[in-house]
Amino acid sequence: MATRFTRVTVVADDRQVDVSLPAGTAIGEQLPMVLRLLSVPPTAAPRGWALSTPELGRVPIDSTLDGIGVLDGTVLFLTPASEAAAQPFVDDVEETTAELVAADVPLFSGADRASAVAAVLGLLFLGTVVISALAPAPASWIGAALAGMAALAVGALVPGRGGSFAAAMAAPAGAVVVLGAGERTAVDLFAAVAGGGAAVGQIPGGPVGLSATQLMFVVLAATLGLAGAGLARGRTGMTVGGITAAVLAAIGLIAVAAGAPGYRMAAIVGLVCVVLTGFAGQLALGGAGLVNLMTADERGERVPRVTVVKAVERGQAIATGVVWAVAVFGAVCAWMLLRTKLSGSVGWAPPVFGGVLALALAARSRVFTRVRQVAPLLGAGVFGAMAAATMLPQWLGTESASAAAISTLGILALIGIVVAGTGFSSLAEIPRVRMQRFLDAGEFILVLALIPLLLMVFDTIGALHRLLT
């Protein structure tokens, strides 16, 4: 059978060539000849280049001119593969979505995982510095110095924004070292700034005298403002995050207005946060409109690539907004519950619920695979662990302030070692599969345990007993 040729014009920057190319030969086999005709330096790797057209997008190197419908007189543009024209229509919406997510959204692995873990460690370093600032000397400056040195070490070893955030924690650490070396605490500093008034924690009536209901109204207004800012700036993630936070704040407001104590309100909102982690994916998929695009694709309709790109961006923004709102509110709820001190037979329930809530949020991060969703949930878990560390001396009945500070800082150091050890290392395939099974079971138990713990927080059994007797 005779070889058939298609005459095309190949354009590269300020050069072009009219050439007849075999219509049935793969494009990749013809690229070296095209590069020579255009006087492209021979050192350039042929597979680093691509041919594309505005109508067809990038031409796959394993396709032929006949196969993609290139006719005589077509103009092909030679560019680096990364700069080739995008396809205006997609062949498969689901496959294109997966490709876009893989290309544009960092996976929680490799350097991106290390950067995210470094950011979580930065949060831990910041918490350690704050706790050190409130501790008596010498625990204050020793704890801050160790946190500062660890922050600098992580910043030096881990590239990316996470490493930069961790390293930045050396700045407040240095300030606390100087403060602690003078045998002063942050409470002394605050009192001095206030002109010798009461410490911040001793202000009657809560923060600036607000009641619980008023405080929840303030939080609700702030979250609605965040959603409004997202709408004004056209930021889907900010808008969805603000709306999600507003819903959580409204639930808390209703609980407080109904007479629920703060720790019970925190338990309700915390449980809703865990539930929302399971719906974040569905909310993202539905809100992005990808289901409609897939349905249209199955009906044989041509789906523009730009529509899929925008849908993927919108879906990722929705998922990220929901997760960040859940992580922030969940972390605050865990902190409130862990620091709740009650007497009676169920006095243990709120702290246990808070600890399980923090662990459940961290475990639920395994539902996601992208850094921007995994990192905030891990941060919420670490935040809850810091709250538990601050309460440990009281749970153990430690009376010495120095001993309490040392034990708290020791637990924080242990948390940092665990986070760094699990975050910066990886298991072989078989141990990893076994660990995943173990974590799956642990996650199921943690989430399931929240239901009976919620009943204990509300003292449901005691209420029924009092009702029946």
pTM confidence score: 0.75
According to DSSP H, which parts of 41-138 are helical?
A: 93-104, 110-134
- What percentage of the chain reaches a pLDDT higher than 70? 91
pLDDT single digits (tens) 303-333: 887 788 888 888 999 999 999 999 999 999 9
Of the candidates 312, 176, 329, which has an alpha carbon nearest to the alpha carbon of residue 267? Answer: 329
CA 240/CA 238 separation, integer angstroms: 6
Residue 344 has pLDDT above 80, yes or no: no
**pLDDT band per the 50, 70, 90 thresholds, residue 186:** low
Average pLDDT over residues 289-293: 86
Which of the pair, 396 or 150, is modelled with greater confidence? 150
Q: Can you tell me whether residue 17 is helix, strand or coil?
A: strand
Average pLDDT score over the chain: 83
Give phi and psi for 279, each to the nearest 5: -100, -5
Average pLDDT over residues 211-219: 82
pLDDT single digits (tens) 50-85: 888 887 778 878 888 887 778 888 888 888 877 777
Give phi and psi for 300, each to the nearest 5: 90, 5
pLDDT single digits (tens) 108-150: 888 888 999 999 999 999 989 988 888 887 888 888 899 999 9
CA 405/CA 137 separation, integer angstroms: 10
pLDDT of residue 302: 81
pLDDT of residue 208: 44
pLDDT of residue 206: 44
Residue 183 has pLDDT above 60, yes or no: no
Which of the pair, 426 or 268, is modelled with greater confidence? 268
Tokens 């703060």 -> residue: 262
Average pLDDT over residues 173-197: 59
Distance of CA 83 to CAs 42, 57, 93, 197, Å? 20, 11, 22, 63
pLDDT of residue 198: 35
**pLDDT band per the 50, 70, 90 thresholds, residue 235:** confident
Average pLDDT over residues 423-449: 87
pLDDT of residue 12: 84
Q: Picking from 174-188, 301-315, 327-341, 454-468, which range would have the lowest pLDDT averaged per residue?
A: 174-188
Ordered by where they begin, the domains of the chain are 5-87 (3.10.20.90), 95-107+223-464 (no CATH)
Q: Please give the structure tokens belonging to residue 337.
A: 């519950």
Give phi and psi for 49, each to the nearest 5: -115, 160
Identity of the residue numbered 106? P
pLDDT of residue 447: 92
pLDDT single digits (tens) 15-30: 888 989 888 888 888 8
pLDDT single digits (tens) 81-94: 777 777 777 778 88
Average pLDDT over residues 155-171: 90
